[in-house]
Structure 1
Amino acid sequence: MGNRTELGDFLRSRRSRVAPQEAGLPPSAGRRRTAGLRREEVAILAGVSIEYYRRLEQGKQQRPSPAVLEAIGRVLKLTDDERRHLAELGRGRAAAPSAGARPGGASRTVRQEVLRMLDIAHPHPACVLSRSSDLLAANRGALRLFPGIEDWPERERNTARYAFVHPFARELYADWDDVAHGVVAHLRAAVVVHPGAPDICGIVDELTRCSDEFAALWQRYDVRARTNGRKVYRHPDAGRMTLTYEAFDVARSEGQRLVVYQAPPETPDYEALLRLSA
């Protein structure tokens, strides 16, 4: 997953999704051989030479300037998350393992102060996830939020693996397609932020082998930071409920995230949330 391949593949995937009319170009007569914009069109609209942009997609042009990437991002209608992802790729962060990266991956140890936060969050479900989405710690409500995950050994409890592999997942998530898309988009971003990380590469390789749906989504090169959102559950014990979540980076913890789920008080969703923690 080197920088050259990642940058070129990402640009091609975004280019194919922008219709000429969206970029302000007149509709062309006849059938276009290229889905979305052509390389030449992106180059002209971004104000760079056609050869320069071609070399970017081929991985032959290294470390493009921030101004060039910003111009290309505007042409390709990138989201804020995608712009940040493109900037990381442009800096070459995916070219090699990051300095000081340990062969065994990030630490799985959760600081005591963070563990106490899980208790403080009660009755709201709260958990700590690693940069590769391993479930490192959880209060009662969060653990029950993933029915059946306790049957797995602790080191195999991973929310990305759960979404694609566990037989309960498709019934649990009423919007499974959106959840699956978010899982993959988060891992795609994590690959660049933590280049060469064996724990992230390991879960991506595993899910690519065992899930055709994951493999197909991975090839879309979508990027989305999972900092907050909402999920609709069909929980076997708590019933149907809609919960929002907020994810916070844990200081000095190599990519760990504290995730807290909530619902407005005195609502059916909140009552369902309480049943999880009872």
Structure 2
Amino acid sequence: MATNQLARALYEEALDTAEQPPNLARFVFLDPRARRFYRDWDGITHDAVGSPRAEAARTPGNTDLADLVDELAVGDLDLDYDARDIPADPALTIVTYTLAPTAPHAPAFLRLQQHSSEEA
């Protein structure tokens, strides 16, 4: 990302990231600070959702961009859950989430699982 001094000042939060190089799409969708940074966060997400996909279509050999699209494309997950109280400590509850492998959202959950194991 090329910036000048004014852009660096304006986008300081977005540029202040351990992930290098900084990426505005990753900031918008994955960084909780983006909700404060953008006054109309819902609008910016709507506008930003197509840009990485369009660029990936224009540059199909760009594996970094394809990886970013995969990282951001988890989408909705409909999970089943079970909550169990712990008799020894009523303030604690164990919650387990499950997803059938044949569920419509299984591929999205698999992408999320792969992404989380890469970060560990």
Q: Residues of 1 paired with 2:51 and 2:6: CA distance?
A: 23
- Is structure 2 residue 64 aligned with structure 1 residue 168? no
Task: Give the distance between the partners of 1:195 and 1:150, measured in 2 at CA.
Answer: 26
Indicate the structure whose relative CO is greater, using CA pairs within 8 Å and at least 6 residues apart: 1
SS of 2:53's equivalent? helix
Unaligned runs of 5+ in 2: 77-120
**Aligned 1:14-25 pairs, distance under 5 A:** none
Instruction: Count residues in correspondence.
Output: 76
Identity of aligned residues (%): 37
Structure 1: 5+ residue runs without aligned partners?
1-135, 210-214, 217-278
Matches within 5 A, 1:237-248: none
Query: What does residue 190 of structure 1 align with?
Result: 55
Rate the CA distance shift 1:146–1:196 in 2: closer, same or farther, 3 A: same
Alignment of 1:60-139 (within 5 A): 136-139=1-4
- Partners of 1:164 and 1:180 within 8 A in 2: yes
Letter in 1 for 2:13: G
Contact 1:147 1:168 in 2 (8 A): no
The change in CA–CA distance for 1:181 and 1:148 in structure 2 (over 3 A counts) is: same
Alpha-carbon distance between aligned partners in 1 of 2:53 and 2:19, rounded to the nearest angstrom: 24
Point out the structure with the larger helix share.
2
Q: 1:151 Cα deviation (Å)?
A: 2.8
- Tell me how far apart the structure 1 counterparts of residues 56 and 46 of structure 2 sit (CA, whole Å): 16
Q: Take 1:139 and 1:154, find their aligned partners in 2: how far apart are those partners?
A: 20
**In structure 2, distance between residues paired with 1:192 and 1:158:** 18
Structure 1 length as normaliser, TM-score? 0.25
Mapped to 1, the partners of 2:55 and 2:16 lie a distance apart of: 27
1:177 pairs with 2:42 = yes
Shift of 1:138: 0.9
Q: How does 1:49-64 map to 2 (within 5 A)?
A: none
Q: Does the Cα contact within 8 Å between 1:170 and 1:176 map onto a contact in 2?
A: yes
